[in-house]
Amino acid sequence: MRNIAVIGLGYVGIVTGAGLADLGNHVTGVDVDEERLQLLGRGELPIYEPGLLELVERNVRVGRLRFTNSYDEALKEAEFAFITVGTPSGLEGEADLQHVRKAAGSIGRAMRPGLIIVNKSTVPVGTGDYVAEVVRTSQPKPMPFSVVSSPEFLREGSAIADFMNPARTVLGSEDPEAAEKVAQLHLPLRSPIMITDLRTAEMIKYASNAFLATKISFINEMANLCEALGADIKEVAVGMGYDPRISPHFLDAGLGYGGSCFPKDVRALAFMAAEKGRHPQLLQAVMEINADQRQSMVEKAADLLGGLRGKVIGLLGLSFKPNTDDLRDAPALEIAERLREAGATVRAYDPVAMARASSLLPHVEMASDAYALARGADALIVCTEWNEFQHLDLDQVRDSMRQPVVIDGRNVYDPERMARLGFRYRGVGRGSSPSRQAAVIVPT
């Protein structure tokens, strides 16, 4: 059993801490947010993530996981300190490192000799050196320590599975012995472990997220062409995905990417490129296409309804993806504001995110369920592909609406079926007319 401190109990911190505890380590989570600590003390979580509450409760119960606001308490016997604080976007897209700086300074003041500091936060290339300098200048007296970069690759909604079954673990350090010790922590996960230098490890995280964001923007660009040319992007994506060089992953056309990672990481990478005198033209295009997808939903609604002023529009889903209540850079928030600016009355329903959304969208009425949302609405816009939306009684939805208009921002529904049910339907890249399901023949 290793003694580990996890600094920052946000999304990454709670998942990382609970996961490391479940592997048999003794983990102390540290956070300066008293409200968050009180929630955890009552057995509640500040975030929604399937399976996480059970994982936390189990490890708290057996004494492998505890929470505190004291760095001295957490680092008293710690061999490793994982930094998992947030790095939000600054005014120009740069990553804001104030929380990393505060965490590193507090670690320096409370640490014991030989501590290995593991940075899991997504940080600009070169931050490992910066963390080392902050720790060094914060120490009451000089003592040895090491810094390892170990970027996280957790997906909201499947974070527990991602932690326990990672595609790879990336470690970067100028101290091979420290990297090897961190690798030992991850051996029970039985995944490939790549050890490299600090800056390369930091860059791997940014490059990975930027590539996935690029793939999403590319398929949305193709979807827009499909709409103009009469092709079906769903079938185009299937045909592309059979090519092993492409793969079917991240080829779902829709409202584009959102959340806490892709938007800020693409912006931060573009900022780093510009700072070094490079012209990040591909990254700029990725961001522009993503922004256009949100506006296109508003334009489709206006086109189908003959204008938006005085119309009632319901948003099916608010979180940026299903199985999370995360509203950071969620497309639905921007769509709601643009609809209101155009004179529409906006309602919304989400299975888990409405409590968070109420303060962010004070002028949007929150419906009790999808059927209440549809009642008297002129149009519904699907913003999040929650599973329950795929199984609605569409006859009931249609009959309760003032106008049976559905703009499907996630291509949840089949255009042919929606037309048969009497809806005026518009998906993303579904062509000029409803198409049948693509036939796939596999030789035996």
Q: Which residues are catalytic?
A: 261
Q: Are 89 and 119 in contact (CB under 8 A)?
A: no
How far, in Å, CA of 41 to CA of 242, rounded? 48
- Can you read off the two tokens belonging to residue 267? 């912006």
- Can you read off the two tokens belonging to residue 89? 């976007």
Count of alpha carbons within 13 angstroms of residue 273, beta-carbon side: 17
Q: Are 147 and 117 in contact (CB under 8 A)?
A: yes
Q: Are 223 and 293 in contact (CB under 8 A)?
A: no
How far, in Å, CA of 195 to CA of 172, rounded? 6
- Report which DSSP code applies to 437: P
How far, in Å, CA of 366 to CA of 193, rounded? 45
Q: Are 366 and 357 in contact (CB under 8 A)?
A: yes
- Can you read off the two tokens belonging to residue 263? 């938007």
How far, in Å, CA of 441 to CA of 444, rounded? 9
